[in-house]
Amino acid sequence: MTTKEVEPFVGKAVRVTFADTRVVAGTLHTGQRYGRYTIISDSVQKGGPPVQEGVYTATQITDIEDASGDPAAVE
């Protein structure tokens, strides 16, 4: 995907499929540099830290979709 395709999802709950077939759900945040992103979701363990997945370039993403209806994806 391109940065232009990913940018509209920043700040929203998403489900992302990566080129390596992994699927991650959480809130999409911009990274420290242009074109970098972080997906943050709730902790796997109760009371634990949130789970973060770094995305270094939009080309790592093969599909992104709105997941606002999925409680597991809402940060």
- Walk along the chain (75 residues) in steps of 10 and give the mean pLDDT of each run: 94 95 94 85 85 92 94 78
- Domain carrying residue 18: 3-66
Is residue 36 situated within a structural domain? yes
73 inside domain: no
72 assigned to some structural domain: no
As given in the structure block, the two tokens for residue 58 are 């939009």
- State residue 40's pLDDT score: 93
Separation of first and last alpha carbons in the chain: 23
CATH number of the domain that residue 24 is part of: 2.30.30.100
Q: Which residues contact 25 (CB under 8 A, 6 or more apart)?
A: 13, 14, 15, 16, 39, 41, 67, 70, 72, 73
Give the pLDDT confidence score for residue 58 in this predicted structure. Answer: 92
Q: Is residue 15 part of a domain?
A: yes
